[in-house]
Amino acid sequence: MIDAPLLDVRDLTVKINRDGNEITALDNVSFSVAPGEVLGIVGESGAGKSITGAAIIDLLVPPLKRTGGAITLQGQRIDQLRGKAIRNIRGGRIGFVFQDPMTSLNPVIPIGRQLCDTIRSHTKVSSDRAKAKALEWLDRVGLPDPVVNFKRYPHQLSGGMRQRVVIALALCADPALVIADEPTTALDVSVQAHILQLLRDLHRESRVGMLLITHDLGVIAKMADRVAVFYAGRVAEIGPVAELFHSPRHPYTRGLINATPMPAEDGAIRLDQIPGAMPGLGAVPAGCAFNPRCVKAEADCRVTVPSLLDDGAATTYSCFHPLERQAAQ
């Protein structure tokens, strides 16, 4: 028996009102996350990755607006919730790790109080138990001197320390799902590996489901079980990481993989660019959005939007002329 999805997103559509005209930012996006699974969302800047994460927990900032689709968490529709009902989901059943920890922490409240407030908002515990749990989480995420740092303000911590606090905030109320939106973007390269290792370790311990949003295929390879490739507000391909890396079906996925720096046999670094650029909002071409950049595009690609196709394998893709499936090595 196949377990029901932890998170199920069906036909999610987001639009932006620009001078009275509605422009599509997300176009009928569908995917699911299984219990304990890490689903990566990858794509170039402007693909709609962060908008997807914000739309799930109703954090879109006007003029962005969710206009269609269904979002189900543990069997419950949450896209129709408003007010206190959706606030109970955010931070409670869904934790969120934002890109920039400085803007996601309240600058005038000590970090310990922010943790305690989150814990008490979503779990029925005393103030003493909330403080004890907050200190436990500061220790679990590797923040040095938890008792001392408990009283400090965000500006008194380094970027890496702040991100550890943000991770603690996302997990301290024991959520079923964590959405991590580019969790290492604002950090030095030397700190990024420590944060990713921390997320991996915490995921192994808690087996919480995770939606990992990133532009970095290297992060996907290390962290994710499956990956959804986004392009211009649509899902281009989705499937298990190993299969998708070895035998992508969508030309855009192959382009992303080839654009990742890789050492060649002669020791040189191979890096192939995808020609052109992703279309901006309001400039998405008719048919398949990737067709102007695609070497396999034909007449039908310029007229009709392809649906996600399943050819019997674990990977699905939206392409009329997919790449040949490579034999397993």
Is 1's pLDDT higher than 50? no
Q: Is 324 helix (H, G, I), strand (E, B) or coil?
A: coil
β-pair partners for 9: 31, 71
Whole-number pLDDT of residue 312? 73
Amino acid at 284: V
The position carrying tokens 């969710």 is 66
Contact in structure between 63 and 9 (CB atoms under 8 Å):
no
d(C-alpha 178, C-alpha 192), whole Å: 18
Written as six digits, the tokens of 326 are 């490579």
Report which secondary-structure segment, H or E, holds 227. strand 226-231
Whole-number pLDDT of residue 12? 98
Is 242's pLDDT higher than 90? yes
Contact in structure between 306 and 250 (CB atoms under 8 Å):
no
Q: Is 67 helix (H, G, I), strand (E, B) or coil?
A: strand
Is 24's pLDDT higher than 70? yes
Going by pLDDT thresholds of 50, 70 and 90, the confidence category of residue 327 is low
Q: Is the peptide bond before 292 cis (omega within 30 degrees of 0)?
A: no
DSSP label of 291: G
Number of CB atoms found within 10 A of residue 51's CB: 24
d(C-alpha 145, C-alpha 129), whole Å: 19
Question: How many Cα atoms within 13 Å fall on the side-chain side of residue 64?
Answer: 17
d(C-alpha 77, C-alpha 220), whole Å: 28
What number is the average pLDDT over the span 225-239?
97
What does DSSP say about strands 64-73 and 7-18: parallel, antiparallel, or unpaired? antiparallel
Contact in structure between 291 and 299 (CB atoms under 8 Å):
no
What number is the average pLDDT over the span 254-280?
82
- Higher-pLDDT residue of 260 and 234 is 234
Is 32's pLDDT higher than 80? yes
Going by pLDDT thresholds of 50, 70 and 90, the confidence category of residue 4 is confident
Is 228's pLDDT higher than 80? yes
Amino acid at 270: R
What number is the average pLDDT over the span 288-315?
93
For 273-286, give the DSSP string.
PPSS-PPPTT-PPS
Q: Please, what's the b/e burial string for 273-304 (b: 16 or more CB within 10 A of its CB; e: otherwise)? A: ebeeebbeeeebeebbbbbebbeebeeebeee
94-151 confidence digits (pLDDT tens): 999 988 888 889 999 999 999 999 999 999 999 999 999 999 999 999 999 999 999 9
What number is the average pLDDT over the span 89-98?
94
Written as six digits, the tokens of 210 are 């995770």
Contact in structure between 267 and 244 (CB atoms under 8 Å):
no
Q: Sort residue 174 into left (φ over 0), alpha (ψ -120 to 50) or beta.
A: left
Going by pLDDT thresholds of 50, 70 and 90, the confidence category of residue 329 is low
